């Protein structure tokens, strides 16, 4: 049986605020370490029936980037849910929420920029 690994390294300042996130994966076709401004890691604990989450972002992550990151995460979660469960209707609802979320964010940004 083959094993794969993902390594995530976080550089933090004296206040423990993330300054840089770097990652690499053993099965990646990219040889060098990759940089990220944010990450969301979720693990399912089957014994406890709970989700374990780790959310992290650097101080370089802009608000518009965070909204886009969440929009894309919601969309891919919906795709994954549909592939895993074949619940097309629920996956479509998740995508609708994601689109509504992002549209509302954009509308808020326009209002703030006009003020």
Residues 67 and 108 in one domain: yes
Domain extent at residue 15: 1-60
Q: For all residues of the chain together, what is the average pLDDT?
A: 95
Rounded to whole angstroms, how far apart are CA atoms 14 and 12?
Answer: 7
Residues 55 and 66 in one domain: no
pLDDT of 82 strictly over 90: yes
pLDDT value at residue 23: 96
pLDDT value at residue 19: 96
3-43, pLDDT tens digit by residue? 999 999 999 999 999 999 999 999 888 888 999 999 999 99
Residues 7 and 44 in one domain: yes
Query: What global pTM score does this model have?
Result: 0.88
Domain end marker among 60, 85, 104: 60
Domain end marker among 60, 89, 106: 60
Rounded to whole angstroms, how far apart are CA atoms 11 and 72?
Answer: 25
Chain centroid to Cα 35, Å, comes to 14
pLDDT of 101 strictly over 80: yes
User: What is the token pair recorded at 58?
Assistant: 């650097």
Residues 53 and 69 in one domain: no
């Amino acid at each position: 049986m083959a094993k794969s690994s993902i390594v995530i390294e976080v550089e933090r300042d004296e206040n423990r605020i993330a300054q840089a996130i770097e990652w690499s994966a053993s099965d990646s076709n990219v040889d060098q370490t990759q940089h990220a401004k944010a990450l969301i890691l979720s693990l399912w604990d089957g014994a406890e029936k709970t989700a374990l989450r780790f959310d992290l972002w650097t101080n370089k992550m802009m608000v518009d980037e965070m909204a886009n990151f969440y929009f894309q995460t919601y969309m891919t979660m919906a795709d994954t849910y549909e592939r895993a469960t074949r619940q097309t209707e629920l996956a479509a609802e998740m995508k609708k929420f994601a689109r509504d979320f992002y549209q509302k964010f954009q509308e808020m940004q326009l209002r703030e920029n006009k003020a």
